[in-house]
Structure 1
């Protein structure tokens, strides 16, 4: 079985209008949500063998916090510039190149690409992966052979389930 965990970056700040999109940091809510959601994933005893993240600041900060909570060295994170604001088709190309020996991958990225990817690959569709949302899905296919609707949804977690 192969497990793909999609994580949308935590809520980012729009306070500094001079920053370009790539360099936006997390806002107060994002800084609250990341450790909480990372702990939630850690409690499920899921340890990914590979973390791939967009290098945009908000995704980078999200990925690093998840790595810490999962006891993974942040130097092991793969920063893939092709994930920045990538459409589902581009993300799927990245997934197809994952080594077949790897069973569990955590991918940190952006919407709408992540939600579109989830809906492309998974039998159970989701309207929207909110900021810091986690979608876990599983398949018996090899990464290179993954196709439409090959995955089953395992769980879908997001901060507003816990913070009203």
Structure 2
């Protein structure tokens, strides 16, 4: 079984005049939520073997904060520009090509694509919206990431900062 953990970047400050969307930074709440959600991931599923993140400031910052708490080294964090505002199909391509031999892979991306990707992968439940810093983790009965197909994720778990 392979585990895929999907993360929507943490809460971000609104863009200021003239600022590119790519350059938006985490607001204080996002900086608090990311380490808390990483602790929850670690407690529930252990440390990911590899983290693949959009290189947009808000996503890579979320990935780096979470990786530090999870104990994932910087060498195991990969930035992939294709994840910036990616479609589910593009996210699947990234997983197929970049998953390697890792048993637990984490993807950090953006809405609406990350929610749509989670929903298409889940075989047992639907995902309507992943709020900021939400985590959706699933298992797949495959031995290689390039075998991953839609609607085959099992034992799905959905968590987010404001979940009671």
Q: TM-score, normalised by structure 1?
A: 0.93
Q: CA deviation at 1:29?
A: 1.5
Q: CA deviation at 1:45?
A: 4.9
1:129 maps to which residue?
130
1:22 maps to which residue?
22
1:152 maps to which residue?
154
Q: Is 1:62 matched with 2:56? A: no
Asked if the contact 1:35–1:66 (Cα under 8 Å) also holds between the matched residues in 2, the reply is: yes
2:145 maps to which residue?
143
* 12-21 vs 82-91, which moves further: 12-21
1:90 maps to which residue?
90
* Number of residue equivalences: 162
Q: TM-score, normalised by structure 2?
A: 0.93
Runs of 4+ in 1 over 4 A off after TM superposition: none
Q: Structure 2 stretches of 5 or more lacking a match?
A: none
Q: CA deviation at 1:28?
A: 1.9
**After superposition, where does 1:37-48 map in structure 2 within 5 Å?**
37-48=37-48
Q: Quickly say closer, same or farther: Cα 1:15–1:81, change in 2 above 3 A.
A: closer
1:34 maps to which residue?
34
